[in-house]
């Protein structure tokens, strides 16, 4: 690489990093966090329907606020535009009696193959006018429901610049989606509604990372759908806008030499026994660490939720369970929790602080992992019901068979499945879900899982021991 090219690349990288910092962090806004008892309907298209961002958000509340129970609903349907969302809004969204509705649309509204043709911009304008028309219908319904807090979400971006895939390159679509985001922000501001922007921050992340690696993308499989790490980025952005970053799981600081607790943020420390070489105490946090999945979930996904820590500062801002011990004698120390060895660190590292949330072997992290696994199982069950919803609202509703649960509905699905791949993809689930008793059983399974999650998500006291080994 020539010296001139190296200088250019370094400048571009620095510029991208600076832009990322100013746009993603400095301009972040604050919207109200969810409160106890909230029922949150996440309304959208396939990015919501098959995605995890809402599940990751709920997992944060499950672990960080164990005494505050909320309910989150996946109310997305693959392929939907604003018109389809408006058509199902009463039956699919409002019937749940939500206290909060998040609404996102735009990816499908901005079209796909139309961008191959010379009149793409005019086609987009027509499509956008149509989508705004139906958005106004949804807006009108929400304005009449003063007990609902709306949150408009600008869609995650369409990445037409990545080299991760040679397919689905619709030049101009990303700019069109940004125009939708700008309209959504203005619409939210007009009504004094909350607004969360996924589009611009995620675009800046893509730009920043693509300087270093042209194949990077938060939507690597088809330029449209975020992978698991992308959904965790979306959850991070949402929680950040709720003002929930820098709220520690716990923050403990102890002076070993003087036998003093210097800090006990979001936790309780009792029975402190300390000297310059060893220390022990009982530790009860008010939150659990946020568990990050190391297995890929969702059709077509290859990445893992945990990979998002390489992209945004999750551990620094959302998952800090800090243990700091000052004035230990020089040397290395074992850290034990409830008698089990967690690791070995030198005294100067304890003085700087250790983030226990990074230690997956702690009993509190393993407790959180159980919650994560049950939440994933709940997500899988809910996905079956969303596959059923696709058939109900995008196939049967327009044919006068909504909730028919009869032979005519099944015959209609079987007939359309022969020529429509999207219907065919949901046909196997509908073969089971056509029966109300089956759907009720799936919902009951979710309810059981949620009751168990909120039973076991309460932090318990642990004995922490730090012993000098040399």
What Cα–Cα distance (Å) separates residue 153 from each residue in 100, 177, 179, 328, 330?
13, 12, 13, 49, 51
**Block residue for tokens 């329907």:** 49
Give the per-residue pLDDT at 275.
78
What is residue 167's predicted lDDT score, i.e. its pLDDT? 84
Is 176 within 8 Å of 114 (Cβ atoms)?
Answer: no
Instruction: Match 């009751």 to its residue by tokens.
Output: 451
Question: What is residue 168's predicted lDDT score, i.e. its pLDDT?
Answer: 84
- pLDDT for residue 16: 41
DSSP assignment of 27-74 = T----PPP-TT-EEEEEESHHHHS--HHHHHHHHHHHH-TT---EEEE
The correct CATH number of 3-241 out of 3.40.1710.10, 3.40.50.410, 3.40.50.620, 3.40.50.1110 is 3.40.50.1110
CA distance 101 to 72: 10
Strand order in the sheet with 332-337: 267-274, 278-285, 462-468, 332-337, 340-346
> What confidence tens digit (pLDDT) does each residue in 163-200 have?
998 888 999 999 999 999 999 999 999 999 999 999 99
Whole-number pLDDT of residue 29:
66
CB atoms within 10 A of CB 445: 16
pLDDT tens-digit series, residues 76-86: 999 999 999 99
Q: Please tell me the predicted confidence (pLDDT) of residue 299.
A: 82
Question: Which residue positions in the chain have pLDDT lower than 70?
Answer: 1-29
**Residue 81 gets which letter from DSSP?**
-
pLDDT of residue 17: 40
Residue 32 has, within 13 A of its CA and on its CB side, a CA count of 14
């Amino acid at each position: 690489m020539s010296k001139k090219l190296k200088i250019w690349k370094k400048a571009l990288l620095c510029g991208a990093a600076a832009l990322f910092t100013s746009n993603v962090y400095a301009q972040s806004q604050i919207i109200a966090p969810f409160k106890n008892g909230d029922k949150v309907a996440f309304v959208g298209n396939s990015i919501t329907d098959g995605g995890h961002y809402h599940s990751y958000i709920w997992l944060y509340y499950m672990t960080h606020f164990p005494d505050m129970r909320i309910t989150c609903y996946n109310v997305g349907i693959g392929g939907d535009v604003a018109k389809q969302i408006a058509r199902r809004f009463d039956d699919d969204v409002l019937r749940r009696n939500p206290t909060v509705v998040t609404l996102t649309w735009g990816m499908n509204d901005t079209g796909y193959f139309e961008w191959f043709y010379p009149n793409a911009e005019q086609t987009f304008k027509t499509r956008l006018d149509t989508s705004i028309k139906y958005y106004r219908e949804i807006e009108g319904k929400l304005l009449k429901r003063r007990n609902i807090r709306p949150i408009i979400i600008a869609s995650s971006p369409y990445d037409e610049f990545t080299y991760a895939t040679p397919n689905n390159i619709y030049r101009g679509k990303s700019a069109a989606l940004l125009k939708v985001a700008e309209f959504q922000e203005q619409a939210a501001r007009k009504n004094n509604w909350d607004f969360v922007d996924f589009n611009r921050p995620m675009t800046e992340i893509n730009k920043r990372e693509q300087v270093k690696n042209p194949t990077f993308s938060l939507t690597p499989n088809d330029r449209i759908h975020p992978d698991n790490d992308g959904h965790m980025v979306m959850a991070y952005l949402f929680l950040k806008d709720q003002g929930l970053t820098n709220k520690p799981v716990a923050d403990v600081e102890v002076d070993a030499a003087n036998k003093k607790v210097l800090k006990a943020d979001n936790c309780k420390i009792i029975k402190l026994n300390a000297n310059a070489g060893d220390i022990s105490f009982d530790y009860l946090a008010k939150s659990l660490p946020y568990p990050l999945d190391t297995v890929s979930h969702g059709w077509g996904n290859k990445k893992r939720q945990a990979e998002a820590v390489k992209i945004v500062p999750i551990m620094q801002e959302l998952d800090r369970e800090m243990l700091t011990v000052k004035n230990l004698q020089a040397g290395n120390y074992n850290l034990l929790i409830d008698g089990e060895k967690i690791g070995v660190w030198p005294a100067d590292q304890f003085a700087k602080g250790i983030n226990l949330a990074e230690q997956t072997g702690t009993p509190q992290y393993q407790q959180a992992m159980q919650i994560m696994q049950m939440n994933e199982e709940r997500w899988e069950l809910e996905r079956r019901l969303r596959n059923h919803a696709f058939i109900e609202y995008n196939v049967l509703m327009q044919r006068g068979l909504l909730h028919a649960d009869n032979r005519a509905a099944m015959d209609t699905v079987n007939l359309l499945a022969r020529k429509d791949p999207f219907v065919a993809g949901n046909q196997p689930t509908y073969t089971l879900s056509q029966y109300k008793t089956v759907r009720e059983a799936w919902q009951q399974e979710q309810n059981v899982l949620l009751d168990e999650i909120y039973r076991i998500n309460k932090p318990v006291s642990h004995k922490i021991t730090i012993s000098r080994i040399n």
